[in-house]
Amino acid sequence: MFHFRTSLRAEILKGKNSFAFWLAAVGTTCVLVVLWMLQLFGHAVVPTSESPWRAWIDAFYAGTDFILLPLFVIIIASLVAYQEHAGAMWKHLYALGVSRWDLYVSKLVYIALLFAAAHLYFIMGMLVAGLLTGLVRPESGLLHAWPDFGQVFALGFKTVVSMLGLLAIQYWISIRFRSFVVALGAGVIGFVAATLLAKSSALVLYFPYAYPLLYTRVYRGEFSALQWGPVSTVELLSLLYFAVFTVLGYWDVRRLDVR
**Residue 44 belongs to a domain:** yes
Domain region containing 53:
2-253
Asked if the structure places residue 183 within a domain, the reply is: yes
Question: What is the model's pTM?
Answer: 0.87
Q: Is residue 259 part of a domain?
A: no
User: 84 pairs with which residues across the strands?
Assistant: none
CA 66/CA 195 separation, integer angstroms = 8
Q: How many CB atoms lie within 10 A of CB 121?
A: 15
Please tell me the total count of domains within the chain: 1
Q: Is the dihedral of CA 147, 150, 153, 157 positive or negative?
A: negative
Residue 137 lies in a domain: yes
In a domain, 258, yes or no: no
Tell me if 12 is assigned to some domain: yes
Per-residue pLDDT for the chain (259 aa), expressed as one digit of tens each? 666 777 778 778 877 888 888 888 999 999 999 888 888 876 555 555 568 888 888 888 876 766 678 888 888 988 888 877 666 566 666 656 667 788 888 889 999 999 999 999 999 999 999 999 888 888 878 888 888 888 888 888 888 998 999 999 999 998 888 888 888 898 889 888 888 887 766 777 888 888 877 776 666 666 555 565 667 788 889 999 999 999 999 898 777 655 5
DSSP-assigned letters across all residues of 30-99: HHHHHHHHHHHHHT-S-TT-SSHHHHHHHHHHHTTTTTHHHHHHHHHHHHHHHHHHHTT-HHHHHTTT--
CA of 78: how far to CAs of 89, 170, 175, 182, 190, in Å?
A: 15, 7, 8, 9, 14
Asked whether residue 224 is assigned to any structural domain, the reply reads yes
The length of the chain in residues reads 259
Distance CA 145, CA 107 (A): 41
